[in-house]
Chains A and B, each alone.
Chain A
Amino acid sequence: MTAAYVALEGGHVIEGRGRAPGTARGELVFTTAYTGYEESLTDPSYEEQVLTFSYPLIGNYGVREERFEDDRVHPRAVLSRELTDDVADWLESEGVPAMDHLDTREVVTDIRDEGAMKCGIAVGEDVTEEDALAELEACKEMSEHTEIGAQVSVDDVEVHGADNDGATVALVDCGAKGSIVSSLLERDAEVHVLPYDAGVEDVEAVDPDILFVSNGPGDPVNFEETIELVEESVGEVPIAGICLGQQIVAEALGGSTEKMTFGHRGVNQPVLDLESDRVVMTTQNHGYAVAEPGEHLEVTQVNVNDDTPEGLDGIEHDILTRQYHPEANPGPEDTLDFFDDVLAMAGHHSQRAVPADD
Chain B
Amino acid sequence: MSTDHQRGGDAATGDGRTILLIGSGPIQIGQAAEFDYSGAQACRALQEEGARVVLVNSNPATIMTDPEMADEVYIEPITTDAIAEIIRKEQPDGVIAGLGGQTGLNVTAELAEEGVLEEHDVEIMGTPLDTIYATEDRDLFRQRMEKIGQPVPASTTIDLDEGESVAELTEADLEERVQAAVDEVGGLPVISRTTYTLGGSGSGVVYEFDELLRRVRKGLRLSRNSEVLITESIAGWVEYEYEVMRDADDSCIIICNMENIDPMGIHTGESTVVTPSQIVPDEGHQEMRTAALDVIRELGIQGGCNIQFAWRDDGTPGGEYRVVEVNPRVSRSSALASKATGYPIARVTAKVALGKRLHEIENEITGETTAAFEPAIDYVVTKVPRWPKDKFDDVDFELTTAMKSTGEAMAIGRTFEESLLKALRSSEYDPDVDWDDVSDAELEEQYLSRPSPDRPYAMFEAFERGYDVDEVVELTGIFEWYTERFAHVAESTRAAQEGDFAEAAIAGHTNATIAATAGGDVDVDTVEQAVPGRTYKQVDTCAGEFAAETPYYYSARKSEFDSGPLEGAAAAGELEVDRDVESVIVVGGGPIRIGQGVEFDYCSVHAVQALREQGIDAHVVNNNPETVSTDYDTSDGLFFEPITAEEVADVAEAADADGVMVQFGGQTSVNIGDPLQAEIDRRGLDCEVMGTSVEAMDLAEDRDRFNELMDELGIAQPEGGAAHSKTEAMELAHDIGYPVLVRPSYVLGGRAMDVVYDDAELEEYIEEAVRVSPDKPILVDDFLEDAIELDVDAVADGEDVLIGGVMEHVETAGVHSGDSACMIPPRSLDDETMARVREVTEDIAEALETVGLLNVQLAVRGVDSDEESTVYVLEANPRSSRTVPFISKATGVPIAKLAARVMAGESLADLEIDEQIPEQTSIKEVVLPFDRLPGSDPRLGPEMKSTGEVMGSADSFGKAYDKAQDATGKPIPESGTAIVDLSADEFPDPETDDGAALVDGFTDHFDLCEEVDLEEAVTRGEVDLIVSRDRDLLEVAVEEEVTYFSTHASAKAALEALEAKDEPIDVQAITGRPKRTAEWGR
- A residues whose Cβ falls under 8 Å from a Cβ of B: 15-17, 30, 32-36, 38-39, 54-57, 60-61, 64, 66-67, 81-82, 101-105, 108-109, 112-113, 266-270, 272, 274, 277-281, 293, 299, 302, 304-305, 307, 309, 328-334
Find chain A residues with CB under 8 A from B481 CB.
Answer: 60-61
Q: Once the chains bind, are B3 and A268 in contact (CB under 8 Å)?
A: no
Complex CA distance for A304 and B559, rounded to whole angstroms: 36
Can you list 12 A-B contacts with CB-CB less than 8 angstroms, sorted by A residue number?
A30-B544, A32-B378, A32-B542, A32-B545, A34-B378, A56-B379, A67-B317, A101-B561, A112-B547, A268-B376, A278-B251, A304-B7
Q: Once the chains bind, are B281 and A67 in contact (CB under 8 Å)?
A: yes
User: Closest residue to B286 on the A side, CB-wise?
Assistant: A333
Residue B114, interface by CB 8 Å = no
B205-256 residues at the A interface, CB under 8 angstroms: 249-251, 253-254
The CB with the most chain A CB atoms within 10 A, among B279, B369, B561, is that of B561
Chain A nearest Cβ from B813, distance in angstroms: 55
Q: Once the chains bind, are B415 and A57 in contact (CB under 8 Å)?
A: yes
Complex CA distance for A340 and B358, rounded to whole angstroms: 26
Chain A nearest Cβ from B539, distance in angstroms: 11
Q: Once the chains bind, are A268 and B2 in contact (CB under 8 Å)?
A: no
Complex CA distance for A42 and B1024, rounded to whole angstroms: 69
Q: Which of A17, A55, A280 contacts B378 (CB 8 A)?
A: A55
Q: Once the chains bind, are A274 and B5 in contact (CB under 8 Å)?
A: yes
**Contacts A15-B561, A279-B253 given; 8 further ones with Cβ under 8 A?**
A60-B279, A64-B317, A104-B378, A113-B547, A279-B251, A305-B546, A329-B283, A330-B282
Find chain B residues with CB under 8 A from A56 CB.
Answer: 378-380, 414-415
User: Closest residue to B558 on the A side, CB-wise?
Assistant: A103
User: Closest residue to B574 on the A side, CB-wise?
Assistant: A109
B296-346 residues at the A interface, CB under 8 angstroms: 317
Q: Once the chains bind, are B544 and A105 in contact (CB under 8 Å)?
A: yes
Q: Which of B2, B373, B574 contacts A293 (CB 8 A)?
A: B2
Complex CA distance for A16 and B562, rounded to whole angstroms: 10
Chain A nearest Cβ from B177, distance in angstroms: 42
Q: Once the chains bind, are A299 and B2 in contact (CB under 8 Å)?
A: yes
Q: Which 8 A-B pairs have the closest CB atoms?
A: A36-B282, A32-B376, A268-B374, A35-B282, A108-B544, A32-B543, A330-B282, A279-B372
Chain A nearest Cβ from B566, distance in angstroms: 12
User: Closest residue to A271 on the B side, CB-wise?
Assistant: B372
Chain B nearest Cβ from A254, distance in angstroms: 14
The CB with the most chain A CB atoms within 10 A, among B1, B290, B357, is that of B1
Complex CA distance for A105 and B278, rounded to whole angstroms: 19
Residue B560, interface by CB 8 Å = yes
Q: Which of B2, B277, B286, B414 contacts A330 (CB 8 A)?
A: B286
Complex CA distance for A198 and B65, rounded to whole angstroms: 70
Residue B836, interface by CB 8 Å = no
Residue B285, interface by CB 8 Å = yes
Q: Once the chains bind, are A328 and B286 in contact (CB under 8 Å)?
A: yes
Residue B1029, interface by CB 8 Å = no
Complex CA distance for A108 and B3, rounded to whole angstroms: 30
Chain A nearest Cβ from B555, distance in angstroms: 13
Q: Once the chains bind, are B376 and A266 in contact (CB under 8 Å)?
A: yes
* Known interface pairs A39-B282, A105-B544, A270-B370; A299-B3 also in contact (CB < 8 Å): yes
Q: Which of B5, B280, B293, B544 contacts A35 (CB 8 A)?
A: B280
Q: Once the chains bind, are B543 and A54 in contact (CB under 8 Å)?
A: yes
| Residue-wise interface mask of B (1-44) relative to A, using a CB-CB cutoff of 8 A (1 in contact, 0 not) | 11101010000000000000000000000000000000000000
Q: Once the chains bind, are A270 and B289 in contact (CB under 8 Å)?
A: no
B535-592 residues at the A interface, CB under 8 angstroms: 537, 542-547, 558-561, 574
Residue B359, interface by CB 8 Å = yes
B362-379 residues at the A interface, CB under 8 angstroms: 368-370, 372-379
Complex CA distance for A60 and B2, rounded to whole angstroms: 43
Chain A nearest Cβ from B545, distance in angstroms: 6
Find chain B residues with CB under 8 A from A104 CB.
Answer: 378
Residue B639, interface by CB 8 Å = no
Q: Once the chains bind, are A304 and B2 in contact (CB under 8 Å)?
A: no
Find chain A residues with CB under 8 A from B374 CB.
Answer: 267-268, 270, 281, 332
User: Closest residue to B375 on the A side, CB-wise?
Assistant: A268
Chain A nearest Cβ from B295, distance in angstroms: 14
Q: Once the chains bind, are A54 and B376 in contact (CB under 8 Å)?
A: yes
Complex CA distance for A144 and B357, rounded to whole angstroms: 43
Q: Once the chains bind, are A302 and B3 in contact (CB under 8 Å)?
A: yes
Complex CA distance for A277 and B7, rounded to whole angstroms: 11
The CB with the most chain A CB atoms within 10 A, among B293, B537, B543, is that of B543
Q: Once the chains bind, are B286 and A331 in contact (CB under 8 Å)?
A: yes
Find chain A residues with CB under 8 A from B885 CB.
Answer: none
Complex CA distance for A17 and B502, rounded to whole angstroms: 14
Find chain A residues with CB under 8 A from B463 CB.
Answer: none
Chain A nearest Cβ from B556, distance in angstroms: 9
Chain B nearest Cβ from A239, distance in angstroms: 20
The CB with the most chain A CB atoms within 10 A, among B251, B415, B558, is that of B251
Q: Which of B250, B283, B380 contacts A57 (CB 8 A)?
A: B380
Q: Once the chains bind, are B290 and A61 in contact (CB under 8 Å)?
A: no
* Known interface pairs A268-B374, A293-B2; A54-B544 also in contact (CB < 8 Å): yes
Chain B nearest Cβ from A2, distance in angstroms: 13
